[in-house]
A and B are shown apart, each in its own frame.
Chain A
Amino acid sequence: MPLPPNVSAAQWQEALAAFRAAIGEAWVYTSDEDAGLYRDAYSPVWGEEEERLVSAALAPRTVEEVQAIVRTASRFGIPLFPISTGKNLGYGGSAPNLSGSVIVDLKRMNRVLEVDDRRHFAICEPGVSYFDLYRHIRERNLNVWIDVPDPGWGSVMGNALDHGVGHTWYSYRDHFLSHCGLEVVLPNGELLRTGMGALPGAGTFGDFRYGFGPYVDGLFAQAGFGIVTKMGIHLMPRPEAFLHRRVLVPRRQDIIPLVDIANALEDAGLIGMPLYESPMFHAQFADPALRAIAHAPDVWNGNAIDRYAAEKGMAPWQLGLSFYGPEPVIEASWQHARAKFEKAIPGVRFDDVETLRFPLDEAGEEAVQHKVLTGIPNMNIFAIGARSQTNPEPADGHLLFSPMIARSGEEVLKAQRIFTEGMQDMGVDYPDAYGPFTAPFTWMPRIFALTTGMPVSRTDPAVNKASRETMRKLIELGARHGYGEYRTPPLFQDQVMGTYSFNGNALRRFCETLKDAVDPKGIIAPGRGGFWPRSMRKEG
């Protein structure tokens, strides 16, 4: 593995000795075999010169050990890259922005410090996964739910700090929005607590996020201003019941009133995450006629799709609605929603997908259809990409492109066409490529993500080259139309930050000013978020 940049072999050995003295020899990983486990498993530059490799990995157990690591790194000018559980797959995994960085693996800091089911919050260390927190709550029969992303093995804290997202109510599925209070080791080794954590003896770390003065928590998400060692997060009280109902519309243009009504329902607090899908997406792989419609140049007028929908009785769009609360209340909310859709969309149909009453026993939990909608962590999302009947030769992972588009049906139709025709111009096509059946994701409240994935390979560099080139072009294409990524792998962070270019890249320049003040040597994750300290900037 490479040495840290600008560090001699002798200095490196001296630094390793200091790290070993600080955290114990067993937790300093330097062999290719051990440190190689921190490569991005979904790297689009696997085995190539551009791949971001680590020099070593350190696994501290306590905040004091993290502080000792940071002070040692500062003494030797060694860049660190903290990970919580390192499961940011598709967006960089555990790999750093700068080759030669030392990983600070926080997985061993895995205590659930507190769960309060009367004030509805938890305080966790970085290594606590969604599975761990769920289990902690369930074993104690606490009256709270967690909101989970698709894969349950990731860190509750790490996900929030990467602006990760889930699947229930507005105020819980934006995981950074729902966090409350951070404890951070700063680049000089000093310990900071934000919000009420800054007031000794307050006892409200997990309750009130602002405390007094500037709200600085945002600096510690998607950025290298410190290593977060503790985080509070607001939790949802366990509801009495859950309804999942489906709205199916007969025409392509019906996406417009469908979104308008769902927006109104959600922003009024009547539903959880709206779940948009197109039944035609999967159907196109079983019916060549539908696939041909999808690829025809005139598909965008919707006529052929509407004819196919009428002939087959297949909806171009469906919307899943989740209701949480007392059963009579949510049944009334559903009837209210249903009436809105019936009034606005001729020919609309409805399905009763699922009704659950809590708590569930073990068998009941296992039978839940779409577990993330009810806060049950699982790994079922890996079916996307894994070997299956319809994907007999799977890729080794994927590269995710997640542009954010305005939350309207018109914008969905517009963005679909821009990205589909853009990909056609690029000459790329694969099952997840954009098309007229690409549905928006609603993980993040008040915005749509029109996410797609491109394949990566650990054996075929040509696949990776094509995906990288496609990614770079999509970022540029999206930015030209005002669509920006909310999250991207290190390889693309400079480019994405460059697209947020208002007033001569004032945002990036401000971040650089802060970085120069807080971490001038670039000790903590230099380059993370697409900005660098002066000493590492291209013009520097």
Chain B
Amino acid sequence: MRHALCAAALAGFIACAATAAGKPADQAAPLGKRLFDYHCASCHGTGIGNPGAAMKPGTDALRVKYGGELPALLSERTDLTPETVAYFVRNGVSVMAPYRKTEIDDAQLAALGTWLSRNNPDLKRR
């Protein structure tokens, strides 16, 4: 119940907000997508990095890590699970610091994980 209440309150905040880059939020988009745009897209989205960088840092890091075997964009991955997403959000990796529960609470984390794993065929069969 506690987390559901937190999620409801913060979902309202996200819904009337916009993405981190200042773009208007897509109000019809799922909560997980809006959370991704708000918290993740500034590193893991599309677009250029600083001068000389063709990609944002998280996207480029995953491009180098997987060498083309997996998509560089998290939003295009088909192998993610909510558990994987939760692990990296709460533990961080490399220079990515973990997110605290005042930033992304557990219910929001579940919504983010659901959206990022929406294309995972194994989960669809579950």
Contact = CB atoms under 8 A, between A and B. Distances in A.
A353 to B, nearest CB: 8
Contacts of A397: 95, 97
Interface stretch (A86-94, A298-306, A423-431, A480-488): A86-94
A383 B2 contact: no
A86 B5 contact: no
Contacts of A448: none
B120 interface: no
B84 to A, nearest CB: 17
Contact of B53 (A59, A86, A383): A383
Interface string A61-81: 000000000000000000000
Per DSSP, chain B at the interface is: loop
Given A26-B5, A107-B102, A396-B94, A131 B48 contact: no
Contact of B57 (A127, A139, A383, A396): A383
Nearest to A34: B101
Nearest to B38: A131
Interface in B46-84: 47-51, 53, 56-58, 60-62, 64-65
Given A366-B47, A380-B49, A387 B64 contact: yes
Contacts of A110: 13
A503 interface: no
A498 B74 CA distance: 46
A108 B102 contact: yes
A1 interface: no
Nearest to A89: B97
A155 B7 CA distance: 22
Contacts of A335: none
Contact of B20 (A38, A377, A389, A392): A377
Contact of A25 (B2, B22, B56, B101): B2
Given A37-B90, A366-B47, A396-B94, A388 B102 contact: no
Interface residues of A, number: 56
A307 interface: no
B42 A131 contact: yes
Given A369-B48, A397-B95, 13 more contacts: A26-B2, A37-B100, A110-B13, A135-B20, A153-B42, A365-B22, A379-B56, A380-B53, A383-B50, A385-B94, A386-B94, A394-B95, A397-B97
Interface of A: 25-26, 29, 33-34, 37-38, 41-42, 57, 59, 85-87, 89, 93-94, 105, 107-108, 110, 127, 131-132, 134-135, 138-139, 152-153, 362, 365-367, 369-371, 376-383, 385-389, 392, 394-398
Interface of B: 2, 5-6, 13, 17-24, 42-43, 47-51, 53, 56-58, 60-62, 64-65, 90, 92, 94-103
